Amino acid sequence: MLKTLNQLLGNQKKQLYLPIFLTIIDAIGSMALYFVLYLTVVDLLNGSLSESKVIIYTTICFASVLYRILIYRKGYLLCFTRGFDVAHDVRVNLGEHICNLNLGYFNQNSKGYLLNTLSNDVANFEGIITHALPFCMKTATLTLLIITGTFFINWKLALIQCALIIISLPILRWSNNLVKKYGTKKRNLSSKLVSVVVEYINGFKVFKSHNMTDKHFTRLLNSMEQTRRLSIKTEYKMAVPNTMYSIIVSFLTPLVLLSSSYMFSTRSFSSESFIAFMIMSLALTALLVSFEHYYIMINNLKLAVQNLKTTLDYKPLSYQEENFTLLNFDVSFNNVSFSYETGKQVLNNISFQSKKNSVTALVGPSGSGKTTIINLIARFWDTTRGTIEIGGKHIKQLNPDCLLHYISAVFQENVLLNDTILNNIIIGRPDATFEEIKEAAKIAHCHEFITKLPEGYNTLVAEGGASLSGGEKQRIAIARAILKNAPILLLDESTASLDPDNEAKINNALDELMKDKTVFVIAHRLNTIQQADQIMLLNNGTIEEIGNHDNLMNQKGHYYKMVKEQENAREWTI
Ligand SMILES: Nc1ncnc2c1ncn2[C@@H]1O[C@H](COP(=O)(O)OP(=O)(O)OP(=O)(O)O)[C@@H](O)[C@H]1O
Ligand SMILES: [Mg+2]
């Protein structure tokens, strides 16, 4: 755990040295009170407790309290401020790391797992770093000091005391194993619960329209019930070693009392030593009882640290060129094969070239791999086999962030942020002026509806764009792409949610946008892509036909059939 924690904290761990040191100093300072108590009792028994001694002892007590207040306050504040700083850095690192992962990571991990890692694990980590770690150090230091002290008074009695502590160690281990076992189970269940809650909220409209709200609410209730039952079971299981541990360490004082009384009676123990030992054993019992609490917290830290490490161990996309300039925007696929999950091949040996400033249209049945090709160009995933080159450079060698500066995209599902419309468009180019944003919105035919909203461009969009229609969301996504004006443009069904009137307007806007760019456009309505320089018909992850509209029509193959089917369907509709 320490190794993992060390990796996780990196250089930041130095930040924790001073607060932990101050907490330990505070622990040492607290020993002064026990010492004064010992001296006072001994003097009382000897009848030598004079007025001057009382004054000295009281002064020592006051000084020690004052010293501890100063040290404790400083250490306490530092534990929190530095602990929060360290946890903040871990959060930022984790966030940056996740940004650099390929989308496959999100495929493999449920939303619940990710939310749990980003919120609960980091919060646990933060809580334990700021609270448990310093206090655990303090308790451990005091325990060690007292045990060492008892060896100086009477090593035989100290050994008996240690034997009792050693007996309690397997119980601590047992409790540790239970934390591991049930902590992992609880985490898996809570990830599932979070996933079900997210699914319930996201799918509420669908469930309602299919009268399935009750069924899915039952799923949610079942998940909550499982979590409740597991929490109770965990407490029951944990109660056994915890109680046994408490009983064993509570035996410490009676055992020491019995043994030291015996030694005292056999005159192998002085009254001073007897008193000192009793005071120390009382303090030790209190420490050992509170140690268990921190020990469980530290074990929980192990789980949180392990979960954070699992996420951090997931390798980000690698690259050799950090900053690069692309001057040519030809795109070529060379024998590209790809599968999202091992086993199922989605693209199979795809090769094609798209010249700079040309339009390549991707058509084909649903599931044939059109969106996948676009995902690979943007390097959201890496090819399983084969290479993709942009401007003669292998994209696997390019920093994905830098590569995305050259790419604008409008996807099938347009996700809008829970922010103002203005901020949703400006994502395209954060340094754009308001005039430029307005211009992009006008071209994308969204300026009109935006100005009719109560707060215009400052209107807040509900989470996921729920307050806007599908067409409005799509036009905002197009405005983003227009504003970004990158040399490579990826359009995945960008006019799918528009009515025919708006589609015509948007197509004009897109024609403007597509000028002088390398464009990949996916369209199900084949009449919209007839002017494309090349049309690629995909089927089952392979290129079935490739050429321009006239070539493919002359071939009278699959494309020809699809065009004819759509023409017939349109005539039927008319
Ligand atoms: N994130 C993913 N994880 C696993 N499999 C995926 C993922 N996305 C797509 N697939 C699978 O890959 C195949 C190709 O999907 P893709 O989205 O490229 O098809 P498409 O041609 O764009 O279809 P559509 O016209 O319906 O949008 C499908 O079988 C799909 O189930
Ligand atoms: Mg698709």
Q: What tokens does 476 get? A: 């905002």
pLDDT at res. 347: 96
Answer whether 368 contacts ligand 1 (Cβ < 6 A): yes
What are the structural domains, with CATH classification, of the chain? 2-313 (1.20.1560.10), 331-573 (3.40.50.300)
Q: Residue 367 Cα, ligand 2 centroid: separation in angstroms? A: 7
Task: Answer whether 357's CB lies under 8 Å from 331's CB.
Answer: no
Best mean pLDDT range from 89-103, 234-248, 281-295, 316-330: 234-248
pLDDT band at 465 (very low <50, low <70, confident <90, very high): low
**Sign of the alpha-carbon torsion through 232, 235, 239, 241:** positive
Higher per-residue pLDDT: 523 or 348:
348
Best mean pLDDT range from 188-202, 236-250, 314-328: 236-250
State the closest ligand 1 atom to the C-alpha of 412, by its place in the atom list counted from 1: 27
Higher per-residue pLDDT: 466 or 216:
216
Which of 214-218, 278-282, 457-461 has the least mean pLDDT?
214-218
pLDDT beyond 60 at 573? no
Q: Dump pLDDT digits (tens) for 425-462.
A: 998 888 999 999 999 999 888 898 899 888 899 998 87
Q: Residue 531 Cα, ligand 2 centroid: separation in angstroms? A: 21
pLDDT at res. 574: 47
Q: Residue 125 Cα, ligand 1 centroid: separation in angstroms? A: 37
For ion ligand 2, residues whose CB falls within 5 Å: 371
How far apart are alpha carbons 164 and 143 in whole angstroms?
A: 14
CB atoms within 10 A of CB 509: 20
| Mean pLDDT of the chain, nearest integer | 85
pLDDT band at 498 (very low <50, low <70, confident <90, very high): low
Which of 11-20, 529-538, 564-573 has the least mean pLDDT?
564-573
pLDDT beyond 90 at 407? yes
Q: Which ligand is nearest to the CA of 369?
A: 1
Mean pLDDT of 173-181: 89
State the closest ligand 1 atom to the C-alpha of 372, by its place in the atom list counted from 1: 18
Which of 198-212, 234-248, 373-387 has the least mean pLDDT?
198-212
**Counting beta carbons within 10 angstroms of the beta carbon of residue 152, is it exposed (0 to 12), middle (13 to 18) or buried (19 or more)?**
exposed
**Counting beta carbons within 10 angstroms of the beta carbon of residue 196, is it exposed (0 to 12), middle (13 to 18) or buried (19 or more)?**
buried
How far apart are alpha carbons 247 and 356 in whole angstroms?
A: 78
**Sign of the alpha-carbon torsion through 153, 155, 157, 160:** positive
CB atoms within 10 A of CB 20: 20
pLDDT at res. 298: 80
Higher per-residue pLDDT: 132 or 153:
153
Answer whether 51 contacts ligand 1 (Cβ < 6 A): no
